[in-house]
Amino acid sequence: MPEPILELDEHPKPEDFRIILDGLYAFNRAQTGDAGPQQVAYFLRDEGGQIVGGVRGSLWGRAMHVDALWVDDACRGRGFGSKLMKAIEDYAVSHAHPLVYLETASFQALPFYQGLGYEVFGTLPEISAGETLFFLMKEVTR
């Protein structure tokens, strides 16, 4: 087999990136017996059905990674972020994924997550000028 070449693609196609993920998931499955990550989401919708918030997580192993949480400005401060997090935590623990972890930047929602019982287990300073990325986790029980 000829030597592979290294090629930069600044705009990779989703199907090309899928090859990388499928290879990684196959390797991980062979090592752990766990299937690849399963994505789940809860959505917050207004009376017209428009999405005004949501949370997405990925289940793998015994963990749920919260990939994203967002609530529209008009709906903030009314407890919807907490409801979304509680919903995805309950889903995770009911499907045998009691470890929930996530990242948040210093300009985002660190106090919010800490108020929900998440603990910082790592930081990455200067992820952006003057900003820190925080890694948080929580063991969820019923």
Flag whether 108 is in a domain: yes
Give the total number of structural domains in the chain.
Answer: 1
Flag whether 8 is in a domain: no
Query: Which structural domain, as residue segments, surrounds residue 80?
Result: 14-139
CB 100 within 8 A of CB 137: yes
Query: In this predicted structure, what is the pLDDT of residue 92?
Result: 96
Interval 77-136: pLDDT, tens: 999 999 999 999 999 999 999 999 999 999 999 999 999 999 999 999 999 999 999 999
Flag whether 106 is in a domain: yes
Residue 52 belongs to a domain with what CATH number? 3.40.630.30
**What pTM value is reported for the model?**
0.85
CB 120 within 8 A of CB 134: yes
Flag whether 96 is in a domain: yes
pLDDT above 80 (res 140): yes
Flag whether 5 is in a domain: no
Mean pLDDT of the chain: 93
Q: For the sheet with 99-105, list strands across it.
A: 38-45, 51-60, 63-71, 99-105, 131-139, 119-128
Flag whether 44 is in a domain: yes
Flag whether 72 is in a domain: yes
Flag whether 104 is in a domain: yes
